[in-house]
Amino acid sequence: MFSLDDLEASAALVHQYFPATPAFAWPLLAQRVGCEVWVKHENHTPVGAFKVRGGLVFMDRLKRRQPDCPGVISATRGNHGQSLAYAGGKLGIKVTIVVPVGNSAEKNGAMRALGAELIEYGADFDEARGHAEALAAERGLLFAPSYHPDLVEGVATWALELFRAAPKLDVLYAPIGLGSGIAGAIRARDLLGLDTEIIGVQSTEAPSYALSYAAGHVVQTNSANTNADGLATRQPSAAALDVIRAGASGIVTVNDTEIAETVRAYWTDTHNLAEGAGAAPLAALLQQRDRWAGKRAGVVLSGGNIDLALFRDWILA
């Protein structure tokens, strides 16, 4: 487990590529929710999502450990792949990404533009991940998982920035895809000695971590049918679940209608574009707003990479 000095060093590395992202308390959101709301704008990173932080730390350490690495391969619905492709381009490491068939065309285009070789395979993320693992063995590439200690440490830098930029938060809501974002937030909070409550957020249609949290062990679901593609995971990471069960006070599930409403809220109240997973923490806060009336809440707008067609559907619904 990384120390505060380690986290500071990772933040310094990340800041070689881009500055700390903004954290703002938006008045219209405060009126909407009934409490002070601090938004961490990870939609303002170079790839429009917080995953790039983990990708930079993961790939930088890989380059130091294996300077002759022939390349990495991974699976994604978009932001993890963009993260690796961005970092690979900066560090001279070849990146191959497997996405499910029918994945976001715009995210696919962004990964290609960043230099990744893109392969489409499978019906969902978990099938794409299995194919990526098989190709890693076949091609002699390093498989880069979506949950890894280096990714968690890198992604944790968003929470370090938020906790230092905002006044003391009573609660922080974070989305859960494979778990690096919330695990990093839990570790950053603990290293800073804060008592901020951290609550995870999943989709009602992809509740694998919520079910696992309640059961006390990994529970796999048969489907992950949500338009919030960053939340569409059927198979939790056991390591991530251990961190979440030890450090989060619970997991809230929100449906696509609630997520669509918060995509609209971000647009109208802050003029920021949010993807489904990025809007989910605000949706959960709105669902539980009576609990936090008059207090100070934090949410991470973890990404803004939403396809135009889906944005149009959600905004105009």
Q: List domains and CATH numbers for the chain.
A: 4-50+149-316 (3.40.50.1100), 51-143 (3.40.50.1100)
pLDDT of amino acid 28:
98
Residue 317 has pLDDT above 70, yes or no: no
Give residue-wise pLDDT tens across range 167-185. Answer: 999 999 999 999 999 999 9
Give residue-wise pLDDT tens across range 119-128. Answer: 999 998 889 9
Sign of the Cα pseudo-torsion (190, 161, 145, 125, in order): positive
Give mean pLDDT, residues 269-284: 97
Q: What is the pTM of this model?
A: 0.95
Give mean pLDDT, residues 129-133: 95
Range with the lowest mean pLDDT among 44-58, 219-233, 292-306? 219-233
Give mean pLDDT, residues 40-68: 97
Q: pLDDT over 70 for what percent of the chain?
A: 100
Give residue-wise pLDDT tens across range 182-232. Answer: 999 999 999 999 999 999 999 999 999 999 999 999 999 987 889 888 898
How does DSSP assign the chain, residue by residue?
---HHHHHHHHHHHTTTSPPPPEEE-HHHHHHHTSEEEEEEGGGSTTSBTHHHHHHHHHHHHHHH-TT---EEEE-SSHHHHHHHHHHHHHT--EEEEE-TT--HHHHHHHHHTT-EEEE-SSSHHHHHHHHHHHHHHHTPEE--SS-HHHHHHHHHHHHHHHHHSSPPSEEEEE-SSSHHHHHHHHHHHHTT---EEEEEEETTB-HHHHHHHHTS----S----S-GGG--SS--HHHHHHHHHH-SEEEEE-HHHHHHHHHHHHHHH-----HHHHHHHHHHHHTGGGGTTSEEEEEE-B----HHHHHHHHH-
Give residue-wise pLDDT tens across range 80-103. Answer: 999 999 999 999 999 999 999 999
pLDDT of amino acid 147:
93
